[in-house]
Amino acid sequence: MSLPDQSRIAPDALAASNRFDVILVKIELAAKDINLYTFRREDDAVLPPAEPGAHIGLFLANGMERQYSLVIADPNPRAYTIGVKRDAASRGGSRFVHDELRVGTRLSIAPPRNNFILDESAAVTLLFAGGIGITPIYCMFRRLRTLGREAALHYANRSRGETAFLRDLRDEPGVSFHFDEEENGRFLPIGVLVRDAPADAHLYCCGPMPMLAAFEKATEGRKAAQVHIEYFTPKFEAAVAGGFIVELARTKQEFFIAEGRSILDVLREAGVDVSYSCEQGICGSCETRVLSGEPDHRDSILSEGERAAGQSMMICCSGAKSERLVLDL
């Protein structure tokens, strides 16, 4: 449901809502199979603020909601720009965006949410991007450049033709490119680059799963607070063992989660009003506070420390190791 009289709604009120309406005002070709899409409110009013690393959700006419990282971050934005790659293995989101969205299309979006926060105070920052993973990383790099911070960007892709922002970045100091087809198929040497980074450097990575796995291995000895990673696809399989009870502390309702079902599915079917989006544990929309019980974490967002604390969980993909979970719902 769209919001009424949106021209009178302030950005902070929009940010507090689940969704609001925008219009697609520009489509630009960024690279092979990659387009940039820019959205504004129809009255051109200021949108909720966005930080580097943030993403918005698109509510598509095919019934899907998909999250895409912002290319530009602004505390007082009048537009949001995202990069979308047509994915051959698409579940329907990127294919629909490329095939169906046109300038003038009206749709609803979820306001910016950030699970990939940039530490703007870091003395040194190393950014690693692979493929379409450049979208949040590009945003971070631009912010650090604006602040005059020391930053290096290592950007890997299969070929030059598939590289978004190539023309914009190729003459920037601190930017290095790696094209697999020009390196006899060799991948970016993340291990060497991380090993040579200063001990106080903050490191960020977004890209395909093999790149993220290499980054995680290379940064194992680093302080967790200085290592930042974002997944576009799930890191773990969803918990489907079932066989436990979920209690909602606020309403005192209880639900049995059977084998093959997710907590989110069961609550939605019962008419419980819960936030959700990706249903894969990568966006954070369904993060829920845990009051008691032991979650079986399967998301790609929480840190190891947050998992061990067990104070919150993503109910779209995580289950329970205990017989009962009490949630703050």
Task: Give the C-alpha separation, 123 to 92, whole Å.
Answer: 41
**Buried b or exposed e, range 50-59, using 16+ CB within 10 angstroms:** bbbbbbbbbb
Tokens standing for 302? Answer: 């929480």
pLDDT of residue 90: 67
Asked if residues 249 and 291 have their Cβ atoms less than 8 Å apart, the reply is: yes
Asked if residues 53 and 140 have their Cβ atoms less than 8 Å apart, the reply is: yes
Bridge partners for 126 per DSSP: 152, 203
**Do 6-113 and 124-230 come out as alike in CATH topology?**
no
pLDDT of residue 285: 85
pLDDT of residue 17: 58
Asked if residues 285 and 276 have their Cβ atoms less than 8 Å apart, the reply is: yes
pLDDT tens per residue, the chain (329 residues)? 223 333 334 556 555 557 899 999 999 999 999 999 999 999 999 999 999 999 999 999 888 888 999 999 989 999 999 999 998 766 678 999 999 999 999 999 999 999 999 999 999 999 999 999 999 999 999 999 999 999 999 999 999 999 999 999 999 999 999 999 999 888 999 999 999 999 999 999 999 999 999 999 999 999 999 999 998 888 889 999 999 999 999 999 999 999 999 999 999 999 999 888 788 888 888 999 999 999 999 998 998 889 999 999 999 999 999 999 999 99
Task: Give the C-alpha separation, 152 to 297, whole Å.
Answer: 33
CATH of domain 6-113: 2.40.30.10
pLDDT of residue 92: 73
Domain regions of the chain by residue span:
6-113, 124-230, 244-327
pLDDT of residue 13: 54
Q: What are the distances in angstroms from CA 91 to CA 44, 154, 165? A: 32, 29, 26
Q: In what order do the strands lie in the sheet with 244-248?
A: 254-257, 244-248, 324-327, 287-292, 312-314
- Residue 91's CB is within 10 A of a number of other CB atoms, namely 11
CATH 3.40.50.80 given to domain 244-327: no
CATH of domain 124-230: 3.40.50.80
Q: What are the DSSP calls for 84-119, one per residue?
A: EEPPTT-SSHHHHHHHH--TT-EEEEEEEE-SS---
